[in-house]
Structure 1
Amino acid sequence: MQAELAFSVSDLAQMRFAVSPMWEVGPSYRLLASGAASPVHRPWTGQVRPRLAAAGLDRGWLAELIPPSGYVPDFLNPAPAGAAPSLTEELAGIRAAPASRVRQDLDRLRQEQGRLGPRTRTLYADPRDRLVQVAEEIGTYWELALAPYWARIRAVLDADVFHRARHAAEHGAGRLFNDLHPSVSWGDDALRLSRRSRPLSRGTAGAGLLLIPSVFIGPVPFTRVTPPEPPQLAYPARGTGSLWEPRPAGRTEALAAVLGRSRTRLLTELESPASTTELARRTGLSAAGVSQYLTALRAAGLVSAHRAGRSVLYARTAVAEALLVAHTPGVERGRSPGGTPC
């Protein structure tokens, strides 16, 4: 089935890109819950699935709201107010969802899945209070599964937006749409989605269009249509295939002269998030020394800390990634750390 969304001059004027944390939460949770061995995301799933199970998030609110396939309630993806809203801003939008919207979405979920789970039934009965609990669980999931990797993910998303915005500026919106995905095409002042199962028209959608890249969305785009908000089209981001590839080790002598050898060694070891204990084991440094160095690196904005059960995971920030890329031979300036042209 093919859906067709007409565009007026006003709709084109209101079209924009956005990077959305919640469009990574839903698809990434579905991938983890499926147990599938994704060739692209295998390094990430191998690290995160045990944390998910240990925290009980494989049987909580998200387990009922995000089924293995099919529809995900639209209230989980509020329209991004800006180009890159924070998770905190999007969770505020979820908590503020009208009760009528929540119940309407859950009615559709029940229709497609055949039933609602025990938690979603209580959400249906009391949306206002239960949405607070849903938002809290999403925050926990974010800290476990996505926040430690967000600098790397965000680099790919930003590179995609930059590339496509430049493409649109050079070749026009029609070329942008035709190059977005094989299932998306443009012609006769309309956007066509060949794999959308439900009808789509300006009568059932808001004005404009939000284009949202995602590294976890899978092989086909997803849409969210809840007027009067603009329709959202989430599509697979360019460069996702190299997202988790190991980065080439750079010559860090100059960086070590500024930061010190031990701090620089810890930054290079944080190719994937790790705890103080794991870093001590890898480097041969004492746990106390590692803790001291990480505190200094965190104060300088080079690492971030994320609670994972009884442990704390440390991850490189975007600033640290940029420093390491600058000292990596063969990595061109103007490229994201994942190698995606900017």
Structure 2
Amino acid sequence: MLRYVLEEQDVASVRFGISPLCELGLSLRAIRGPAYFPLQLPWVRRTEEARADLDHEVLDALIDDRMWTPDFLNPRPHSPLTRLDEELAELRELSADVFHRDLTAVHGRVPDVLAGPPRAAVRRVVAALEELWDASFEPYWPRMRAVLEADVVHRGRQIAQHGLGAMLNGLSATIDFDGDILSVRLKDPTDRTHRIDGTGLTLVPTMFTRRASAPVGLGPPMLMYPARGQGALWETERIANPAAVAGILGETRASLLAALGDPASSTELGVRFDVTPSAVNQHLRALRDAGLLVSTRYGRSVLYLRSELGSALLGGRTPSG
């Protein structure tokens, strides 16, 4: 049992944060034991081929059979807008003592693959995580982040309408708050009690936990809890199309055009509409060549957006100019 003691002044310092690195580290749970994370099975399956050539020797050393990960993969996010590159930059500067301490807390020792010179080992960990992100997260992160941000908005509304206690007690069935003590039933049999003492409590929604979890060690007070709405993340999207447009373009292309009022990548669109990557790219190229879409590169992804002509076609009006 983990207990956080909140004094009156601590109640005002409860805050939310979103951590890409935390999601990246916790995703190792779904990769290691996909049967325990049924909501994320579509993600595991879709990314399996992309993960084939990663540094699995290192990634496997970052999780044990209890699904524990070292605390350096669960940083306390500085804000709801924390970026992965910022978190990885901090991880690169991790001291050897903390690196070895956090690994030992999980495995009882430093795994052989990471037992060499600490600076080189940290660099290899960062490289393995960057590759995992590029292969499995970058195409889907906008949708994942949207779910996490929607959860934070919902929790804020709960506080405004029903108070902090109701919100905390609604985070997970394994969390209880009595007004003074926040109790979390963990799989870790150790009984731990921490006073917040003005340091603040950070609540982090995640896609990769089924119950509340917390850092293994004595780091800053932080709780990770299952985000709402993740069950709908991988549902195939269906959009009702104007019959005339669907008759001209076909249902799939009309659906893509209707959906691209907001920019999206071909990979994201393939997930949303249950279309293979090659097929969705073919449809997008045809729509772009017809002047109905525009595209721009963002990092390693190409984002598509409906053009003025495409909007005019959907709206049945003549474009300006």
Q: Would you call these one fold, judging by a TM-score over 0.5?
A: yes
Choose the corresponding residue for 1:94, options 91, 101, 107.
91
Q: What residue in structure 2 maps to residue 330 of structure 1?
A: none
Summarize the Cα distance change of 1:173–1:279 in structure 2 as closer, same or farther, 3 Å threshold: closer
Q: What residue in structure 1 maps to residue 141 of structure 2?
A: 150
- Per-residue deviation, residues 231-257 of structure 1 (Å, max 9, x unmatched): 110000011111111112242759x9x
Choose the corresponding residue for 1:272, options 270, 275, 279.
270
Distance 2:191 2:79 in 1: 27
**What displacement does 1:13 show?**
2.2
Q: How does 1:19-168 map to 2 (within 5 A)?
A: 19-36=18-35, 38-53=37-52, 55-57=53-55, 59-111=56-108, 116-122=110-116, 126-168=117-159
Distance 2:304 2:227 in 1: 22
Q: What residue in structure 2 maps to residue 199 of structure 1?
A: 191
Summarize the Cα distance change of 1:207–1:226 in structure 2 as closer, same or farther, 3 Å threshold: farther
Q: Write the letter of the residue equivalent to 2:74.
A: N
Normalising by structure 1, we get a TM-score of: 0.73
Distance 1:186 1:107 in 2: 31
Q: What residue in structure 2 maps to residue 242 of structure 1?
A: 232
Normalising by structure 2, we get a TM-score of: 0.77
- Per-residue deviation, residues 80-109 of structure 1 (Å, max 9, x unmatched): 112220110111121122222112112222
Distance 2:126 2:26 in 1: 16
Q: What residue in structure 1 maps to residue 221 of structure 2?
A: 231
Q: Write the letter of the residue equivalent to 1:214.
A: T
- Per-residue deviation, residues 110-155 of structure 1 (Å, max 9, x unmatched): 32xxx54321222xxx222321221121111111111101111111
Distance 2:239 2:222 in 1: 39
Secondary structure of the residue aligned to 1:161 is helix
- Count of residues in correspondence between the two structures: 293
- Per-residue deviation, residues 36-75 of structure 1 (Å, max 9, x unmatched): 384322221111112111x234x23111112242431111
Structure 1: gaps of 5 or more residues: 307-312, 328-342
Q: Write the letter of the residue equivalent to 2:115.
A: R
Summarize the Cα distance change of 1:250–1:205 in structure 2 as closer, same or farther, 3 Å threshold: farther
Distance 1:110 1:26 in 2: 16
Q: What residue in structure 1 maps to residue 318 of structure 2?
A: none
Secondary structure of the residue aligned to 2:50 is helix
Distance 2:208 2:114 in 1: 24
Q: Write the letter of the residue equivalent to 1:144.
A: A
Secondary structure of the residue aligned to 1:52 is coil
Summarize the Cα distance change of 1:22–1:280 in structure 2 as closer, same or farther, 3 Å threshold: closer
Choose the corresponding residue for 1:186, options 170, 177, 180.
177
Distance 1:239 1:281 in 2: 28
Distance 1:183 1:285 in 2: 46
Secondary structure of the residue aligned to 1:51 is coil
Distance 1:236 1:187 in 2: 21
Root-mean-square deviation (CA, aligned residues, Å) is: 3.7
- Per-residue deviation, residues 225-282 of structure 1 (Å, max 9, x unmatched): 655x53110000011111111112242759x9xxx979838959753369xxx65545
Identity in percent: 28
Q: Contact 1:30–1:67 (CA<8 Å) still a contact in 2?
A: no
Distance 1:20 1:286 in 2: 32
Distance 2:76 2:98 in 1: 14
Q: Write the letter of the residue equivalent to 1:10.
A: Q
Structure 2: gaps of 5 or more residues: 315-321
Q: Write the letter of the residue equivalent to 2:5.
A: A
Instruction: Pick the structure with greater CA Rg.
Output: 2
